[in-house]
Amino acid sequence: MKPDTITKADLITGLVLLVFSLTLIEEAWRMPRLEQLGVHPSSVPGLVPGMLGVILLILGAVLTVRSVRRGGHHLGITRENTARTFRQPGNLRLIVTLVLCIGYAAFMIGNMPYWLATGIFTFLFIALFEWNPGADRRTRVRGLTLAAVIAVLVAGVVTWVFANLFLVTLP
């Protein structure tokens, strides 16, 4: 991120921290004091979470004030800026990576055999990122074959090592 983008991000982080730390303090305050157990009043469960809440509140406030002083409150969120951010190749790659990874870890695993999920994920990842629409057919076929070979190898080796060598009950 560029310095001025970070200053803007700092403002948002600062505000999030303020809300978060206030919630933390409130939750800590509501934690039981366990008087009926006769416990020592300074050993109550809420003590340290409350203390951390106060510290984070101070740090969040400093961050917010500093960001505003540096002009971070001119967020400049416009439709064009947002669209441009999403069209940057780096951000596109980031979004595709996120979708693939979360789809694999959260949805594919558990709903199909582990080896199959792993194979599909690896293949899709390599095939999508190495896809070159400009290349001729032979290059593309070769790329896809290579992706498939790596996928089969990864799925096979990882599954075998964890199931048979480490005796892990796979998800």
Partner 1 sequence: MILLENLLSFLTAIGDFLTPTALFHVAWSTGLGIIIGALPGLTATMGVALMTTLTYKLAPDLAVLILICMYVGAIYGGSRTAILLNIPGTPANAATTLDGNPLARQGLAGKAMGIATSGSVLGSIIGMFFLATLAPLLGNYALKFQSYEFFWLAIFGIVISGHLTALDDPLKGWIAGFLGLTVAMVGQEGIHAYQRFTYGTTELLGGFALIPAMVGAFGFAEVLTVMRNPAAEVINAARDSVIPKLGEVFRYWRTIIRSGIIGTGVGIIPGVGEDIGAWVSYAAARRKSKERHLFGKGSIEGLMAAECGNNAAVPGALIPVLTLAIPGSAPAAVLLAAMFIHGVRPGPMIMIENPHFVYQVVAMVFFATLAMLVFGLSMTRPLLKVLSVPRERLMPIVFVLCVIGSYAIAERPFDVGVMIAFGIGGYILREMKYPMAPLVLGIILGDILDKSLRRGLVLSDGDLTPFFTRPICAVLFLITLSSVLMSIPAFRRLVGRVVGAVLPGRASREGN
Partner 2 sequence: MMKKLGLLAALAAGATLAIGAPASAEWKPDKPIRIIVPWGAGGSTDQAIRAIAGDLEAGLGQKVVIVNQPGGGGAIGTQTVLDAPKDGYTWGSGAIHDLGTYAVRGSLNTQVKDWHIYLDSMNATVISVNPGSAIKDFGDFVTWMKTKPSDLSVAIAGIPSAGHTTIEAIKAHVEGGAYKSVAYDGGNPAVISTVAGETVSTPQLLSEQMEMIRGKKLRPIAVMAAEAVELEGAGKVESVKKWLPKLDPTPYYFGIWAPKGVPADVVAKMNDVWEKNIKTSTALKKWASDKGQVVFPYYGEDALKRVWPAIRAAAWGLHNSGQAKTNPADLGFEKP
**CB under 5 to 8 A by kind: which of partner 2, partner 1, none does 36 bind?**
partner 2
165 binds partner 2 (CB under 8 A): no
> Distance between CA atoms of 131 and 143, rounded to whole angstroms?
8
Binding mask 27-66 for partner 2 (x = CB under 8 A): ---------xxxxx--------------------------
The Cα 55–Cα 17 span in angstroms is 11
Q: Is 158 in the site for partner 1 (CB under 8 A)?
A: yes
- And the tokens for 43? 């050993």
33-72 residues in contact with partner 1 (CB under 8 A) are: 34, 37, 39-45, 47-49, 51-53, 55-56, 59-60, 62-63, 66
Asked whether 57 and 23 are in contact (CB, 8 A), the reply is no
Burial class (CB in 10 A: 0-12, 13-18, 19+), 134: exposed
> What is the Cα–Cα distance from 31 to 95, expressed in whole angstroms?
40
Q: For residue 18, how far is the Cα from the chain centroid?
A: 21
The tokens 């629409």 sit on which residue?
A: 133
Q: How many CA atoms lie within 13 A of 124 on its CB side?
A: 15
Minimum CB distance to partner 1, residue 78 (Å): 21
CB of 120 closer than 8 Å to CB of 148: no
148 binds, among partner 1, partner 2, none (CB under 5 to 8 A by kind): none
Sites of contact with partner 2 (CB under 8 A): 36-40, 167, 169
User: Which residues lie near partner 1 (CB under 8 A)?
Assistant: 1, 6, 9-10, 13, 17, 24, 27, 31-32, 34, 37, 39-45, 47-49, 51-53, 55-56, 59-60, 62-63, 66, 90-91, 93-94, 97-98, 100-102, 104-106, 109-110, 118, 121-122, 125-126, 129-130, 150, 154, 158, 162, 165-171
